[in-house]
Structure 1
Amino acid sequence: MSKVEKSLHKDSPSNIPVHVAIIMDGNGRWAQKRKLPRLFGHKEGAKTVERVLEIAIKRGIRYLTLYAFSTENWKRPKEEVEGLFSLLKNYLTKKSGDLQQNDIRLRFAGRIESLPEDVRMAMVKVQKETSNCKTLDLILCINYGGRQEIIDAARKLLDIYSSNIDEIDEVSFRSCLYLPDVPDPDLIIRTSGEMRLSNFLLWQSSYSELFFTETLWPDFSEKDFDEALESYAKRQRRYGAV
């Protein structure tokens, strides 16, 4: 066990976040700094995902949620959007075996029905193939928006409780979210120096701890991840109590 791992585990298991969510920002700027097409940054960012998965398992994290493609990302150039989905399909096709070998369950959150059919089919296939894995749940938020998730949940609630809206509470609302069984993120990390949530997990982030780093996502390293985990371990979470 490394010094960092010993430090994180020192006082109690609660020092380790159960659920870490990451806003993976900076792929485009990473490429532009090197005078490369933006898609090169996304390819490097995909390599970082693999690195972060290994670290998350080593550190004992149970859920890892990655903001992969937002509902607003459709506004990007068509070539970039198509390239992103090609990368995703490629990843799903090639990495299913690795995910199973490492006991990683792959799940998705977002308006999946609006994605290209070939991408959807690849997603469904890998999700099924990894459904019995239990070490880590990897959740990719694709065509995802926090406001959109709340709207979709509200529509479900209206269908279920249209005759008795007094029964609607936080528990019933949560049951209508995309992945209601997944606990709220303990820690949300955003790379690239931006300091906002950008429509990410708005309902679930009510009491999440936030960590911002200047590091661009393709450069995000084990040291950066451990810095975020160490910062989290030093905080006292009160959930509104004194």
Structure 2
Amino acid sequence: MTALQKLVYTGYARRLRKRLDGANLPRHLAMVMDGNRRWARQMGFEDARVGHRYGAEHLDEVLGWCVEMGIRHVTVFVASVDNVRKRDAGEVGNLMRMIEEVVAERLSRPSSVWRLHLAGRLEVLPDSTRDALKLAADSTRDAPGVLAESTGDGGFHLNIAIGYDGREEIVTAIRSLLDEEASAGYSAADIAQRLTAERIAAHLYTGGQPDPDLVIRTSGERRTSGFLLWQAAYSELHFCDVYWPGFRKVDFLRALRSYAARNRRFGA
């Protein structure tokens, strides 16, 4: 990018940001971070797996944009159960290392404002990845953004969906609710009468958090791939043609602008 292009880009980003002052912005933003390998090939890297490192490092920057815009709940789709089980072992191993070395390490820093929540079947992950993510989740319980909850502003919460399957999440939530009810001594008939959407939602990975208002998917794919099937029932969707490592701040701001201009009807 030339100096002139940088100047134009900076000015455009500033105007986009200004137009969002006072706009209706999502409380909860969900993102499918797609296109890491395709971006690496596009950039001329011989090993497309390099894209995973760039993608992992880019998450840190995008989370900074979310803080700037006051978006306090973010969920990112890192890898599905099928991604972990069916892709080439070398690629999966590289992705897991990136998660351990970049995502978990950076979120664990004292300067991080994010409280980390894990969403998915952690047992399908390598031991080292599972341990690194659990350690990061434990260490962020007292993050500055979490301590801010005592002032009533809610703090900042990041859900990492890894080893994730949307259908399985719903099954797991219902099973957890049924086990809880049975342990309390309720009969099958009583449990059926007490079953509600709200009570099931409380047992999802994101239980206690607002449903996502906006779901962004990069790379040009027009599908959600089972991401947050329950929670995203009434979410607004935004599909962006750029690959995840190339997802710029102007792309982010355009997605927010599109969301702010929509009249949400929640199925009405």
User: What TM-score results when the alignment is normalised by the length of structure 2?
Assistant: 0.83
- Aligned amino acid, residue 57 of structure 1: V
| Equivalent position of 1:152 in the other structure | 172
- Secondary structure at 2:115 match in 1: strand
By how many angstroms is 1:5 displaced?
3.3
Give 1:229's match in structure 2, choosing from 236, 249, 256. Answer: 256
By how many angstroms is 1:93 displaced?
5.5
By how many angstroms is 1:225 displaced?
0.3
1:1-242 correspondence runs (5 A):
2-11=14-23, 15-33=24-42, 34-73=44-83, 74-92=85-103, 94-98=105-109, 100-133=110-143, 134=145, 135-161=155-181, 163=187, 164=190, 165-241=192-268
Cα deviation 1:68-115 (Å, max 9, x = unaligned): 0111102110100111111111125531454x3131212210111332
- Secondary structure at 2:51 match in 1: helix
Question: Would the alpha carbon gap of residues 96 and 160 (structure 1) be closer, same or farther in structure 2, given more than 3 Å must change?
Answer: closer
Q: Percent identity?
A: 40
- Cα pair 2:167 2:226 within 8 Å, conserved: yes
Cα deviation 1:3-38 (Å, max 9, x = unaligned): 333322335xxx111010000111111122325222
- Cα pair 2:218 2:244 within 8 Å, conserved: yes
Distance 2:108 2:98 in 1: 17
- Cα pair 1:24 1:190 within 8 Å, conserved: yes
Structure 1 runs (4+) deviating above 4 angstroms are none
- Aligned amino acid, residue 148 of structure 1: E
- Secondary structure at 1:106 match in 2: strand
By how many angstroms is 1:227 displaced?
0.6
Distance 2:257 2:129 in 1: 37
Moved more, 53-62 or 104-113: 104-113
- Cα pair 2:76 2:159 within 8 Å, conserved: yes
By how many angstroms is 1:181 displaced?
1.1
- Secondary structure at 2:58 match in 1: helix
Question: Would the alpha carbon gap of residues 222 and 184 (structure 1) be closer, same or farther in structure 2, given more than 3 Å must change?
Answer: same
Question: Would the alpha carbon gap of residues 190 and 82 (structure 1) be closer, same or farther in structure 2, given more than 3 Å must change?
Answer: same
By how many angstroms is 1:118 displaced?
1.8
Distance 1:233 1:208 in 2: 13
Moved more, 157-166 or 74-83: 157-166
- Secondary structure at 2:161 match in 1: strand
Compare CA radii of gyration and give the structure with the larger one.
2
Distance 2:198 2:77 in 1: 24
- Secondary structure at 2:56 match in 1: helix
Task: Report how many aligned residue pairs link the two structures.
Answer: 237
Over the aligned positions, Cα root-mean-square deviation in angstroms equals 1.8
Distance 1:228 1:18 in 2: 14
- Secondary structure at 2:57 match in 1: helix
Distance 1:149 1:102 in 2: 28
Question: Would the alpha carbon gap of residues 166 and 195 (structure 1) be closer, same or farther in structure 2, given more than 3 Å must change?
Answer: same
Distance 1:10 1:175 in 2: 31
